[in-house]
Chain A
Amino acid sequence: MTAALLLVLAVADPCTAPIPPGQANAREAEIYVQVGDAEQARGNAGAAREAYRAALTRAPGSVEARRGLEAVCTPAADPVQAGANALADGDPRRALRALAGARGRGNDRAVDLLEGIARYQLGEDAVAVPLLESARSDPALAESASFFLGLIALRRGDGDRASRLFDQAGRAIGLEDAARQLTRMAQQEGHLVLSVATELVYDTNVALRPDGAPITIPGPDGSAGLTIMGLLRPWGTPGPYLRVEGQLSKQFTLDELDLIGGAAALGFRLLGSGGSLTAEYAYSYQAVDWRGYLADHRAFLGGSLLTGIALWGFAYAAHFETYRWSELEDLSGVRQVLELDAGLLPGGGVRITAGYAGTWDAARVQNLSYVEHGPLLELSWAQGPWMLGVRGALAWRPYLAPDPAYAGTTREDTRYFATTWVDLGLGAQWSVRGTARLLRTDSNIPDLNATEWIFIGSLAWTGAVL
């Protein structure tokens, strides 16, 4: 049985099947050999075998045809496979050498993908992007190409783009999806990007009324808000940038908490082969109840480093704050914040981030100064135009001196934060988002225990002007 099966396979195999004699024709045999050679050079082994066999039919003694058939039937090193093996071995330069002669064999998109990955690993993002975009046009390769395009976007610090590309990496895409994503990317990468967001907010405890406080103290309220932001990047990224923001929030009933503010920031973003670094100075000013409330000079330094599928991040900010209301002047001072985190991108549009954050607020008086620290965890998932996320954080906040307002007790708070959101992209420029947020403070001074729920619905437009 086995012998019969082997015989059938041998007959079917053009490398081993007997070659029936035909009408002798040396001239035609020579042409078939030439065609076989050309097809072999192009990597089309099937056509080359057909040609050499046809040549041998016409000229059984043809040395060239026999040699050609043997060559094409001998398993040879596949340059695409060799390139893939080199990448798996962590040797992108060897992969590029292997792939150098791999094009023109009917598998160019796969070669684009492998070369794009190798270029990405060597930090040659500008060369990698068009190759990966080319590979992404093949539906069979789109997910892998999107994944590495996402990594490049992440390395450039363009989180939104990376997020959407990772989303793509989890599924096959069609032309419309690709077009929509490319449109979004182009808009986010303009030299002058404008963003306008409106929001409706319902806050169950807008003035942070303690648990069990008399209902005469302001409690729940709603508000409508408008935020306008302009981002100017004359030379793109990396390079300097200028950001200007304006914000207005109008309470429905508690007019004394109406807020208007503005901010301007000047920064510079650097990009390296494995990460990014951003430095920024910003000034912001807020007025509450139409009176100057808080002026803040902020120095910021943040960066990220990508290793494999892990993204390591840090962010530091020093706020030089001046409260304008006389009754709040003692809160003025320097507030420093440091956050360290690590993100994992396991695929399927999922991102998991864990970190630790600390704040040192040095107010004018010691009893209002504190050091706060605690862990945080964030989980997000993106699929198509949808994005879901949840973030939780815990912070212990011991104050630095006894507070005379609370019988000389040194205040110690434990603060809990939880946020969940759902984001829906509506075409290239519009998006809607729903957010629910919980803030809970447990203090050793029971009068300061408070719970606040905030529900936000927002509609945003973002587009490149230049």
Chain B
Amino acid sequence: MSRSSLVVLALLLAAEPAVPPSEPHLVAGAEAFRAEAYDKALVEFRVAEALGSTEASWYAAASLLKLGRPEDAVEAFVLAERSNRAATDALLEVYRGQACYAAGLLICADRWFESAGSRAGPRLVPQLKALRGAIRDALQPAQLAPAIDGLLTRGTELAGTRPALAFAIAEEAEALAARSPTRHRQAEATALTARLAAPPPRGRR
């Protein structure tokens, strides 16, 4: 987590007379994250989340990535996005891309690296560019079909128990199918993604 994020959090605390109960945990999590105590950071962000902070969900996802749990992180990012789409920033998008990359979801990684690249600073841009190049090289047409098969199998397995993670996997399969010269199992991938997509908020027309 960046130093500026901590400053922002501190300013918010100072400016807000009635401090929300989640804020001390958010700050404690941020400090633990910066000290690389990711277990503690995850716990504090989860507590902040339970006390009503939707921002904390994004940071919890980043902590999961740092703890070497990329699939859990991908799942947490999906859930964080569903609860508060606007709370992300370029650095969190880089973390999200890294989680996707480590989980073997290359199109997902590419999407977030691309998004982060448009907002990142000059030190990060070349690294993101290199990563995107490696992803582009890895996505050869001949390997798409077995990759799609594997993703659909995994996505279907997880659909009942971990729908948010299954959704990310199904989205990856759908994106790969769109790139496949034969549109390999595209209809199945699209149907699975649609089935696992978050339901629209109630009352919205």
Task: Say whether B143 contacts A186, CB under 8 Å.
Answer: yes
A38→B79 CA distance, assembly (Å): 16
Which residue of the partner chain, among B43, B140, B154, B162, contacts A183 with CB atoms under 8 Å?
B140
Residues of B within 8 A of A46 (CB): 39, 67
> With A47-B67, A134-B104 in contact, is A179–B137 under 8 Å at CB?
yes
A175→B139 CA distance, assembly (Å): 9
Task: Say whether A104 contacts B71, CB under 8 Å.
Answer: yes
> With A106-B68, A176-B137, A183-B140 in contact, is A39–B43 under 8 Å at CB?
yes
Looking at A29-37, A304-312, A365-373, A380-388, the stretch in contact with chain B turns out to be A29-37
Residue among A44, A54, A176, A179 with most chain B CB within 10 A: A44
- Chain A: how many interface residues by the 8 Å CB criterion? 34
A108→B71 CA distance, assembly (Å): 8
Q: Chain B at the A interface: mostly helix, strand, loop or mixed?
A: helix
A291→B46 CA distance, assembly (Å): 85
Q: Is A8 an interface residue (CB 8 A)?
A: no
Q: Is A178 an interface residue (CB 8 A)?
A: yes
Task: Say whether B142 contacts A32, CB under 8 Å.
Answer: no
CB-CB nearest in chain B for A109: B104
Which residue of the partner chain, among A50, A106, A176, contacts B43 with CB atoms under 8 Å?
A50
- Chain B: how many interface residues by the 8 Å CB criterion? 29
Per-position 1/0 for A47-71, Cβ under 8 A of B? 1011100100000000000000000
Q: Is B61 an interface residue (CB 8 A)?
A: no
Residue among B43, B104, B154 with most chain A CB within 10 A: B43
> Nearest-CB distance from B115 to chain A (Å)?
22
A316→B73 CA distance, assembly (Å): 56
> Nearest-CB distance from B102 to chain A (Å)?
9
Residues of B within 8 A of A108 (CB): 71
> With A130-B150, A133-B146 in contact, is A34–B137 under 8 Å at CB?
no
A133→B46 CA distance, assembly (Å): 34
Task: Say whether B146 contacts A179, CB under 8 Å.
Answer: no
Which A257-315 residues have C-beta < 8 A from chain B? none
A34→B147 CA distance, assembly (Å): 37
Residues of A within 8 A of B68 (CB): 106
> With A106-B68, A134-B104 in contact, is A32–B43 under 8 Å at CB?
yes
> Nearest-CB distance from A428 to chain B (Å)?
7
- Which residues of chain A have a CB within 8 Å of any CB of chain B? 28, 31-32, 34-36, 38-39, 42, 44, 46-47, 49-51, 54, 104-106, 108, 129-130, 133-134, 137, 175-176, 178-179, 182-183, 186-187, 428
Pairs of residues from A and B, 10 with the lowest C-beta to C-beta distance, nearest first:
A106-B69, A182-B143, A130-B150, A46-B39, A186-B142, A183-B142, A175-B138, A47-B39, A35-B46, A179-B140
